């Protein structure tokens, strides 16, 4: 029935390797010949395109990252390099492409489709969980679990030393990781780009709590938050020491959030995402993105996905406002 390829673009996430395994197995099941493209769109341009078999995916389901490697390609933005990528795919007889990536990767692929007719299906893959149209992106569950383990471990030493710990998560301008982690770890403070905050309210509440016996604090901050143009993590560390009178430490989790053994949920979602992607390409969905909303999968056009900015679930934000924005202190102020 033809040749089909898969590539990873942008930041790597745990869940990509399980997706590659399912891609090879399901391609064969549907009568397709699977190909791997190494190093994202750069690999398309440089013809790093090779047939894939069962041996290539043996044992990779437990590994984070991606066997294929990934990249952000500036060259793919230029027409001459997209033509070169098209010639490489044509040489291998490939007319269908599955792309594991984010918003920018899908925009590039949409342009490529309209120029060449190469069919594609995008699978949202970013721990930031900031792709419009989908409630879930591949890799998010593993990232949240890594954050959970880190926060739980830090809480032990925070209590032992009577300290405040300020923990910075990834997420750029999206506060999903920070918010969900704060709510599920019982953090006392959470700052995200989507919500306003009032440090004075925190200050009043925390002093009251300290007087009643509280002896440590956990604050979780999204990396994109700034206070007066300064990284919020640094500001809050200083604020805890000067305003609250607590010795404070910063922990930037950084790229630990991208790696690690994929959780059962991310493995399952990888399986489902790839199945829907290949089924879509074999039907009428020639240039779409697989989105997961309200517990079911849908095919959405690239314009639906990239045309609007992702927004956090309003119900989740309402919970966050009551917990962190209003700072409803359990003790009278």
Q: CB-based contacts of 198: which residues, under 8 Å, 6+ apart? A: 325, 327
In DSSP notation, 221-290 reads EETT-EETTEEHHHHHHHHIIIII---EEEEE-GGGGT-SSPPHHHHHHHHHHHHHHHHHHTTT-SEEEE
Yes or no: say if 254 and 146 are a contact pair by the CB < 8 Å rule.
no
Question: In angstroms, rounded to a whole number, what is the distance separating the alpha carbons of residues 171 and 160?
Answer: 30
Beta bridge partners of 290: 299
Regarding beta strands 49-51 and 33-37, do their DSSP bridges make them parallel or antiparallel, or are they unpaired?
A: antiparallel
3-class DSSP state for residue 310?
A: coil
3-class DSSP state for residue 76?
A: helix
Question: In angstroms, rounded to a whole number, what is the distance separating the alpha carbons of residues 222 and 132?
Answer: 19
How many CB atoms are located within 10 Å of the residue 41 CB?
Answer: 28
CB-neighbour burial class of residue 2 (10 A; exposed 0-12, middle 13-18, buried 19+) = middle
Q: CB-based contacts of 225: which residues, under 8 Å, 6+ apart? A: 175, 191, 192, 193, 231, 232
Question: In angstroms, rounded to a whole number, what is the distance separating the alpha carbons of residues 93 and 168?
Answer: 46
Give the active site residues. 128
Rounded (5°) CA angle 126-195-197: 135
């Amino acid at each position: 029935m033809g040749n089909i390829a898969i590539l990873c673009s942008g930041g790597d996430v745990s869940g990509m390797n399980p997706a590659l395994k399912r891609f090879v197995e399901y391609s064969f099941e549907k009568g397709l010949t699977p190909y791997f493209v190494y190093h994202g769109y750069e690999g398309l341009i440089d013809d790093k395109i090779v047939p894939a078999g069962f041996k290539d995916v043996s044992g990779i389901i437990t590994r984070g990252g991606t066997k294929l490697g990934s990249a952000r390609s500036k060259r793919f933005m230029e027409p001459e390099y997209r033509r070169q990528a098209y010639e490489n795919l044509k040489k291998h007889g490939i007319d269908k492409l599955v792309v594991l990536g984010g918003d920018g990767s899908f925009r590039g692929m949409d342009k490529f489709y309209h120029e060449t007719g190469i069919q594609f299906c995008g699978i949202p893959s970013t721990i930031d969980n900031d792709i419009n149209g989908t409630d879930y992106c591949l890799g998010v569950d593993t990232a949240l679990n890594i954050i959970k383990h880190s926060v739980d471990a830090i809480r032990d030493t925070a209590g032992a030393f009577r300290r405040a710990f300020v923990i910075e998560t990834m997420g750029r301008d999206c506060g999903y990781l920070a918010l969900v982690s704060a709510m599920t770890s019982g953090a006392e403070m959470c700052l995200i780009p989507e919500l306003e905050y009032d440090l004075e309210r925190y200050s009043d509440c925390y002093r009251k709590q300290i007087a009643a016996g509280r002896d440590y604090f956990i604050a979780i901050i999204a990396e994109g938050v700034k206070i007066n143009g300064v990284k919020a993590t640094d500001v809050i560390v200083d604020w805890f020491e000067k305003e609250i009178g607590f010795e404070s430490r910063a922990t930037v989790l950084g790229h630990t959030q991208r790696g690690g053994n994929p959780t059962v949920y991310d493995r399952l979602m990888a399986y489902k995402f790839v199945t829907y992607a290949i089924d879509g390409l074999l039907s009428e969905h020639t240039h779409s993105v697989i989105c997961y909303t309200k517990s079911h999968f849908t095919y959405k056009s690239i314009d639906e996905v990239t045309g609007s900015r992702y927004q956090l679930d309003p119900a989740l934000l309402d919970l966050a406002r009551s917990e962190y924005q209003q700072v409803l202190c359990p003790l009278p102020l």
